[in-house]
Amino acid sequence: MTERIQNFLASRRHDGPCLVVDLDVVRENYNAFAKALPDTRVFYAVKANPEPKVLKLLADLGSCFDTASVVEIKLALEAGATADRISFGNTIKKERDIATARALGVDLYAVDCKEEVEKIARVAPGARVFARILCDGSGAEWPLSRKFGCVPEMAIDVLEHAHRLGLVAHGVSFHVGSQQRDPAMWDGALASAAMIFHTLADRGIQLAMVNLGGGFPTRYLKEIPGVESYGSAIFNALRKHFGNQLPETIIEPGRGMVGNAGIIRSEVVLISKKSDAEDDARWVYLDIGKFGGLAETMDEAIRYPIKTARDGSAMVPCVLAGPTCDSADVLYEKDPYFLPVSLEIGDLVLIEATGAYTTTYSAVAFNGFPPLETIVI
């Protein structure tokens, strides 16, 4: 935890759970990406944390923005980004939202099928499009499944179709899966991207850009490679597959930009057991759960570091759960979480590395619990 967050929390009475985001950490992350991938433009994935102050800082630092909806496009514009720094990166868009984006000046769109290309050709003639290809997501702790992208062979047809309809076939994109702990995972996708570039060049269509997506991890409990390892693995893969004709590249970090910049403070509401049996599991209930912002504990995928004032005393395995009346609101049970045996009801705990994918996932008022409060410092 940073000293700034520590000082801020020390001065604040705990009422409900809150997320505190330190802008200094976001700035350091942005600079680290810029240094590790010096020839690559950064398009911050707005969905990871769309707090206006975070977006403003990134806009001031020169970042571009990857958006998924008209609301996110407007947030990026309000933060000071011009429309030429915004990409509409969702492959699933309503035609009227594309028209609105176009009216706002956005000129860069993701597609993964001919049907989506046709919508764009109708309401945003002449726009630039890039085709998203499928990635298997292995090595990622929050894989993105088969919902987005098409096979590389189909991406060729999709881009050719776009070209025929008067759009600019601009490039190829992929996402290797979120919290990707293996920098080598970009290699296979870049091999496919190069194949698409070469095939289309033979048909007289010159692509320009490869969108390397997000996936850059943040530090939870396990060690992760540094951002420079990702930079060099990606650079080497680009050289291997594109030789001397390197394409223009962009990255879309979300988690890696803001994850470690935030900490949630939460309170222990209850500690109990289900029977008097000696070996019965101890249940610890916090005032935040799956519906309060910790949605990524789904299937126990993301395991957050949790700090308490009693760390150092003996640790015991606990089932960790949220406060709501939905039985799905259990964070860690299959793989119990070790917490101090001396932990007491009313203790405050710090849930670290929660700057990404927390506030935006929190329910508005399920069971009357308010959405997660965010304070940006």
Comparing CB distances to ligand PLP, the nearer of 45 and 286 is 45
Comparing CB distances to ligand PLP, the nearer of 91 and 324 is 91
**Distance in angstroms (rounded) separating the CA atoms of residues 32 and 11:** 31
DSSP state string for 289-306: -GGGT-GGGGGG-S---E
Burial of 112 (0-12, 13-18, 19+ CB in 10 A): buried
3-state secondary structure of 213: coil
How many CB atoms within 10 Å of residue 64? 20
Q: Does 50 bind ligand PLP (CB under 6 A)?
A: no
Contacts 24+ apart (CB under 8 A), 373-376: 373/16, 373/17, 373/18, 373/19, 374/18, 374/19, 374/20, 374/21, 374/51, 375/8, 375/18, 375/19, 375/20, 375/21, 376/20, 376/21, 376/23, 376/51, 376/53, 376/54
Inter-residue contact 76 to 55 (CB < 8 Å)? yes
Q: Please report how close the Cβ of residue 275 comes to ligand PLP at its closest, in angstroms.
A: 41
Helices (H) and strands (E) in the chain, counts: 10, 18
**Distance in angstroms (rounded) separating the CA atoms of residues 183 and 179:** 11
Q: Does 255 bind ligand PLP (CB under 6 A)?
A: yes
Q: Does 355 bind ligand PLP (CB under 6 A)?
A: no
Annotated catalytic residue, options 64, 135, 318, 325: 325
CA-only gyration radius of the chain, Å:
22
Inter-residue contact 204 to 243 (CB < 8 Å)? no
Q: Does 285 bind ligand PLP (CB under 6 A)?
A: no
Q: Does 256 bind ligand PLP (CB under 6 A)?
A: yes
Q: Quick one: which of 137, 247, 253, 293 contacts ligand PLP (CB under 6 A)? A: 253
Choices 151-159, 212-220, 311-319, 323-331; region in contact with ligand PLP by CB under 6 A: 212-220
Q: Quick one: which of 163, 170, 175, 265 contacts ligand PLP (CB under 6 A)? A: 175
Q: Does 230 bind ligand PLP (CB under 6 A)?
A: no
Q: How far is CA 250 from CA 33, 196, 268, in A?
A: 11, 17, 42
Q: Does 93 bind ligand PLP (CB under 6 A)?
A: no
Element (H, E) at 336: strand 330-340
**Distance in angstroms (rounded) separating the CA atoms of residues 129 and 168:** 6
**Distance in angstroms (rounded) separating the CA atoms of residues 274 and 64:** 51
Q: Does 292 bind ligand PLP (CB under 6 A)?
A: no
Choices 42-50, 306-314, 327-335, 362-370; region in contact with ligand PLP by CB under 6 A: 42-50
Q: Quick one: which of 18, 45, 129, 207 contacts ligand PLP (CB under 6 A)? A: 45
Q: Please report how close the Cβ of residue 45 comes to ligand PLP at its closest, in angstroms.
A: 3
Choices 22-30, 248-256, 279-287, 332-340; region in contact with ligand PLP by CB under 6 A: 248-256
Q: Does 267 bind ligand PLP (CB under 6 A)?
A: no
Q: Please report how close the Cβ of residue 304 comes to ligand PLP at its closest, in angstroms.
A: 15
Comparing CB distances to ligand PLP, the nearer of 17 and 254 is 254
Q: Active-site residue 325, yes or no?
A: yes
Choices 45-53, 122-130, 223-231, 320-328; region in contact with ligand PLP by CB under 6 A: 45-53
Q: Show Cβ contacts of residue 135 under 8 Å, excluding neighbours closer than 6 positions.
A: 144, 149, 174, 175, 176, 177, 185, 188, 189, 213
**Closest CA relative to residue 261, chosen from 305, 218, 301:** 218
Between residue 126 and residue 155, which ones bind ligand PLP under the rule CB under 6 A?
Answer: none
Comparing CB distances to ligand PLP, the nearer of 89 and 152 is 89
Q: Quick one: which of 137, 143, 183, 215 contacts ligand PLP (CB under 6 A)? A: 215
Q: Token digits for 326?
A: 């939905």
Choices 209-217, 230-238, 289-297, 308-316; region in contact with ligand PLP by CB under 6 A: 209-217
Q: Quick one: which of 17, 50, 214, 293 contacts ligand PLP (CB under 6 A)? A: 214
Q: Does 340 bind ligand PLP (CB under 6 A)?
A: no
**Count, residues near ligand PLP per rule CB under 6 A:** 16
| Residues in contact with ligand PLP by the rule CB under 6 A | 45, 47-48, 66, 89, 175, 178, 213-216, 252-256
Report, as residue numbers or ranges, the catalytic residues.
Answer: 325
